[in-house]
Amino acid sequence: MADKMIENNQVVIMGEIVSPFTFSHQVFGEGFYLVDVMVKRLSESQDIIPVMVSERLVDVSQDYQGEWICISGQFRSYNRHEEKKNRLVLSVFARELSFVEEEDDSVKSNQIYLDGYICKPPVYRKTPLGREIADLLIAVNRPYGKSDYIPCICWGRNARYASAFAVGGHVLIWGRIQSREYMKRLSETEMEKRTAYEVSVSKLEYSES
């Protein structure tokens, strides 16, 4: 059963480590650490993706900045309580990792597959230039009754298709993880730069099952 749960949320990223490991939390004596990985896009820009790593997978006391790494795992979420409201925090949970000598063009550097359920009505809109966009929030089941809530963004025909999805609908999604910066208003005079993470959808299917 747990293996099937793992299959419904699959991520592979390859990129350059661009931060030290910072302690996140501990579970049954096992420490988990966050590290940022810079993944290139085809457009020559890049995404900075946070990765959660167990101290059992790598020596977290070492500084690996500048090293290339390939990670497979899952895209996970949790709610962090901030200023009287919850904030959805996302990271790649590493199940396996390996250091690579350099960028391997034969390996797709950023891919994700999700099998989950629509948990909010899709938000369909058009940009000022007329580009169609639909925002989805997908619940992906995890073992032991938990779920990850993953924001996804669809474009063009996929956006039109996704805009009609019903809450509770079963969807299969293929795409890539992307990061984007935005300004969060904290008060009338104070703004803070934050980073959002989402899945940019390249293919999706509505499942009747």
Report the CATH superfamily, name and number, of domain 2-104: Nucleic acid-binding proteins (2.40.50.140)
> 80 pLDDT exceeds 90?
no
CATH numeric code, 112-207: 2.40.50.140
27-42 pLDDT per residue, tens: 999 999 999 999 988 7
Q: Rounded to whole angstroms, how far apart are CA atoms 190 and 194?
A: 13
Q: How confident is the model at residue 162 (pLDDT cuts 50, 70, 90)?
A: very high
Q: How confident is the model at residue 85 (pLDDT cuts 50, 70, 90)?
A: confident
**Does residue 9 sit in helix, strand or coil?**
strand
> 82 pLDDT exceeds 80?
no
* 82 Cβ neighbours under 8 A, 6+ residues apart: none
- Asked whether the whole model's pTM tops 0.85, one would answer yes
Report domain extents, the chain: 2-104, 112-207
Average pLDDT over residues 120-149: 93
Annotate 8-46 with b (16+ C-beta within 10 A) or e (fewer): bbbbbbbbbbbbebeeeeeeeeeebbbbbbbbeeeeeeb
Check for a shared fold between 2-104 and 112-207.
yes
Average pLDDT over residues 5-10: 82
Distances in whole angstroms, Cα of residue 111 to Cα of each of 75, 134, 201: 11, 20, 10
Cβ-contact 44, 146 below 8 angstroms? no
91-105 pLDDT per residue, tens: 999 999 999 987 666
